[in-house]
Structure 1
Amino acid sequence: MEKPGKKIAVGRAAAGLSVFIVIVVVLSFSSMNQLEHRALLNAGLAVIDRFTSRTSRTAPSSNCSAPLPAFRLLIGILTLPQKYERRNLLRLVYGLQTPKIAQIDVKFVICNLTNEEHLAFIALEIKRYEDIIILNCTENMDGGKTYTYFSSLPHLFGPTPGTRSPPYDYVMKADDDTFVRLAGLEESLKDAAREDMYYGFLAPCDNMDAFTANYMAGMAYVLSWDLAKWIRSSNYAKSHQVGPEDLLVGDWFRAGKVAKNRYNNKPTMYDFPGAVGPDHTCSHDFIPGTVAVHRVKRNRDWLLVLSYFNYTKDIKPSSFYHIP
């Protein structure tokens, strides 16, 4: 059933339209001069403007507001300045994924720039995409970059007037050779704890007990926002930055007796099928419920990942290209 206010608004708009039609008819058959024509026409337009503005003000505002996301997640992909090709590939990969229930933002995380080419080209990326975070550190893998990333977030994304606090429910650290499937990620996070939460691929590979294990593997792991704030305030974390970054994060939490809500996402997080390395890897075939695939190193590997999950299908036909 329509609301009375809506009927009144529609009626007023219709009345205004009728007035305008009458004016047009009068103008068509009268002998007024040009100035008189213009004055009367402006009067008719003013009537229309009054009635249409009333109609828009009386429309229910709830129909125009988007629903709040189930949660908000920042994905920080730790990468190197010179990896332009990889960043552009990942922009396509994440840009073609549309979260259904969550707000998911993706940023690329690098340390201070010292190379002139990097400065110039990354400046172009910032101007075009605005998805780069440059931390105050010297580029490294296990020399404190992960600590700088997490400890910088509360300052970089701190609450500002008119914004929600905290700005994100979760923050993720991911490698640039990890494919994160957003549909699987948001489904696995929708009912997870919003505080004191530590989520990822439990290391070592054969361990399934999230409460006796040391850490989540560095391929991609998620922390609740309060843990990022805890890292920033922790003297222990600040004084233990150098070493295998994923193992250190687990060590910080064990020493601080935090991160009690833990989520082990095996087998949906895994190494690329057939991946080999100096350590035993947790590798298996692709599965439909995948959250993340690690060690996607070569373009051929990305081809297989994207093909399995149908990212290259359903291209709209066009006379501008022919793709069999």
Structure 2
Amino acid sequence: MEIKLRFFQSPKFSLQKVSTAAFLVLLPISLMALIFFVVYPGDIRLQSLSAPPSNCLPSSLANVSSSEADLRILLGVLTVAEAYQRRDLIRRAYLLQQPLLSASRVDVRFILCRLTTEEQRTFVAMEIMLYGDVIILDCAENVNEGKTYDYLSSLPRILDAGGRWPPYDYVVKTDDDTYYLIDKLSETLRGLPRVDVYLGMRVPCWSTGSESGFMSGMGYALSWDLVEWVAASEVARQKRLGPEDIMVGVWLNEGGRGKNRINMMPRMYDYPGGPETCFRHGFIPDSVAVHKLKDNLKWAKTLQYFNVTRRLKKSKLYFID
């Protein structure tokens, strides 16, 4: 306040004097900042890296907006609330695939049933605040007692299409022990009709019938019209209990739906180990999905095979042999 009073009351005030004084004060400060930047550039860079980002991870794998995407896929990962570490691993594994996508939009969502403990309510709420990638259904947690039905049948009601309908061209149901090669999945789905499509690894894998059997629960894709049909189907509602992958096949078989059945064998398969079969064999470069990644080591070996860390830049900050 004293400076302001003197500024207006002094008849001999000179802007030139103020400019000169300011220059004399700022000059040494500027020189010190320049010297620090030249001598300690790494410290400045490290401080900028340590600042928390406003949004740690995107809730979708997309280089384009939903309205610009020529293909929109919802990848629903059925999991349980306590699998915090597994969800974190899956988020990172899929986020690293983002540069491989061009005109596709893939939204990865973790599908849970009702939370039952204080720990779950707190930790899952934190995940939602940070990532926005969790869907919590109004059901008791289960595997074969209707969770897949609740997931598929709820989507037309709960999804916001943002002015564009349908919100997705395809919906995928998968589990947290399956790893998808998102670019390969997108390339495959882009060439399909997008109507009455049921894609996955056919079971039994030696079946040749075009409208029989079912797709393995490791992961399967339904075109959006089939998702809407499931939501309205009395067949699906009455037969929602039982092995979920078998029951989806039953719905479609009895309803005369899913006539465009795409068998992705051998590009979808179980993790290598034991005698090779039609559903279990070694890694192949053109894979779409690998199943039965039951522990971190199997995830690591799978991610290593597909060279997920190939874009890791060299740095003095770390040494990875």
Counterparts of residues 125-274 of structure 1 (less than 5 Å): 125-159=127-161, 163-207=163-207, 209=208, 211-274=210-273
1:314 aligns with 2:315: no
Runs of 4+ in structure 1 deviating by more than 2 angstroms, as ranges, are: 65-70
Which sits farther off after the overlay, 132-141 or 209-218? Answer: 209-218
Give the paired residue count: 256
- The answer on whether the counterparts of 1:101 and 1:186 sit within 8 Å (CA) in structure 2 is no
Q: Which structure 2 segments of 5+ residues have no match? A: 1-13, 16-63
- The answer on whether the counterparts of 1:275 and 1:281 sit within 8 Å (CA) in structure 2 is no
SS of the residue aligned with 1:290? coil
- The answer on whether the counterparts of 1:109 and 1:135 sit within 8 Å (CA) in structure 2 is yes
Provide, for residues 92-143 of structure 1, a one-character-per-residue CA deviation record: whole Å limited to 9, x for no partner.
0000002223111100000011111111110110010000000010000000
RMSD value, Cα: 1.9
SS of the residue aligned with 1:148? helix
Tell me the TM-score normalised to structure 2 length: 0.76
Amino acid at match of 1:240: K
Amino acid at match of 1:274: G
Shift of 1:210: 5.1
1:82 aligns with 2:79: no
Amino acid at match of 2:138: N
Shift of 1:281: 7.2
SS of the residue aligned with 1:171? strand
Shift of 1:323: 1.8
Shift of 1:184: 1.2
Q: Which structure 1 segments of 5+ residues have no match? A: 1-32, 35-64
- The answer on whether the counterparts of 1:210 and 1:263 sit within 8 Å (CA) in structure 2 is no
SS of the residue aligned with 1:174? strand
Amino acid at match of 2:246: L
Partners of 1:284 and 1:227 in 2: how far apart?
31
SS of the residue aligned with 1:138? coil
What's the % identity of the aligned pairs? 44
Q: Aligned residue for 2:283?
A: 286
Q: Could you say if the C-alpha distance between residues 210 and 201 of structure 1 is closer, same or farther in structure 2, counting changes exceeding 3 Å?
A: farther
Partners of 1:150 and 1:202 in 2: how far apart?
20
- The answer on whether the counterparts of 1:158 and 1:166 sit within 8 Å (CA) in structure 2 is no
1:296 aligns with 2:293: yes
Counterparts of residues 83-98 of structure 1 (less than 5 Å): 83-98=83-98
Q: Could you say if the C-alpha distance between residues 261 and 212 of structure 1 is closer, same or farther in structure 2, counting changes exceeding 3 Å?
A: closer
